[in-house]
Amino acid sequence: MERIVSYFPQLTSLQQERLTLLGQLYRKWNDKINVISRKDIDALYVHHVLHSLAIAKIISFRPGTRVMDVGTGGGFPGIPLSIFFPEAEFYLIDSIAKKIKVVNEIAAALELQNVKAEQRRVETVPEKFDFIVSRAVTAFPDFLKLIRNKIRPGKENELPNGVLYLKGGDFEEEIKPYRERIRIYTISDFFSEDFFETKKIIYMQEK
């Protein structure tokens, strides 16, 4: 938790309190419903919370910004981002009911008024959002097919509306068809931990 505060000194006392409580809540719920691998739970703050907050290093969502987290799993990146941006609106979806149960329980325990979480597939979501975030649920071209027509045009934030996709490893072939529309951010430019050595954020603006 201390390292998160060192990277984000602007966190309020309430945000710090919620982020601290996050670790306790995930340990409690992970014992009942396994949403984070057993070996990963000890590295929760680096592998999940800090990884999610890398997005906050490249954009500061303005009040009223609507963000959908697709394939949120146990609530990443949506829950940490909703703590960081309490005036933005977050819609977290996953096709697995037990994961959404954990997300809803944690959001309720933290009294996050800006989070809505539902079990559903993205193809069935009728609304459009300003940004779609996700942590590499599938290959990038396949992900773009899933979220087609789910982003509304707009430029109210520092970055125009679009996709923010957290991904690691070598994905050059995957993004080649979209290279002119994509911007890559290297997370190790923001955070010094070895875990982030190959981790990137792919940003693609809505057409």
Domain segments of the chain as ranges: 2-205
Please answer whether residues 67 and 130 qualify as being in contact, where contact means their C-beta atoms are separated by less than 8 angstroms. Answer: yes
Encoding tokens for residue 166?
Answer: 């957290």
| Alpha carbon distances (Å) from 81 to 123, 125, 144, 145, 179 | 23, 21, 22, 24, 27
pLDDT of res. 66: 98
Q: Which of 20, 201, 205 lies closest to 110, judged by CA?
A: 20
* Stated pTM of the model: 0.97
Confidence of residue 18 (pLDDT cuts 50, 70, 90): very high
Confidence check: pLDDT of 111 > 80: yes
pLDDT of residue 39: 80
pLDDT of residue 149: 94
Query: pLDDT, tens digit, for every residue of 135-182?
Result: 988 999 999 999 999 999 999 999 999 999 999 999 999 999 999 999
Pick the CATH number of 2-205 from 3.40.50.1240, 3.30.70.20, 3.40.50.150, 3.40.190.10: 3.40.50.150
Confidence of residue 113 (pLDDT cuts 50, 70, 90): very high
Q: What percent of the chain has pLDDT over 70?
A: 100
